[in-house]
Amino acid sequence: MGLEEIEREFSLERIETADGIPTYYCEKEGLLPLMEKLKSDFEILLDITAVDYFGKREKRFEVVYLLLSLSQKIRLRIKVRLGEGEKVSTLSFLWKNANWLEREVYDMFGIEFEGHPDLRRILLYPEFKGHPLRKDYPLKKSQPRIKLLRSERE
């Protein structure tokens, strides 16, 4: 199925990027049916990540999905805009690596994925408070797990 058809069927909004990868915005409700459709062509889910536009946009988060079709030799980027506290459905039953990728996004941004089988922190430890890749998390705010012999920074 061509990208134009999918674009029409799901009324996606296309934007231009510097790398020439076709990029579409999708509503969060429409994500799951879209991805189910794309699954047949795009064998590999390359990446899930997010961008925090804190204070710049009304809906602060943007979840970015990157797909790769080996048969057609194209990559495809799908974006979903999310506000604070909004959830998006998980893709972990479509592509298996989505499980960990979504856990990472949850860990770093605090975006929750509906229906995820095991949504917990992956890179940081359970005691960690906050989500470091959010723009309002200070770079140097560390949260030691044990009592330190000296203070880390003067």
- The site for other proteins (CB under 8 A) is made up of 17-19, 21, 23, 43-47, 49, 51-52, 64, 66, 68, 70, 73, 75, 77, 95-97, 99-101, 104, 108, 121-125, 132-133, 137-146, 148-153
Distance CA 141, CA 98 (A): 29
Q: How far is CA 19 from CA 16, 75, 151, in A?
A: 9, 11, 45
Task: Quote the least distance from Cβ 99 to other proteins, whole Å.
Answer: 6
Cβ closest to other proteins, residue 54 vs residue 115? 54
> In this complex, which beta carbon is closest to other proteins, that of residue 34 or of residue 75?
75
Nearer to other proteins, 114 or 118 (CB): 118
Shortest CB 53 distance to other proteins, Å: 9
Residue 7 vs residues 25, 64, 85, 88, 95: alpha-carbon distances, Å: 10, 17, 28, 20, 22
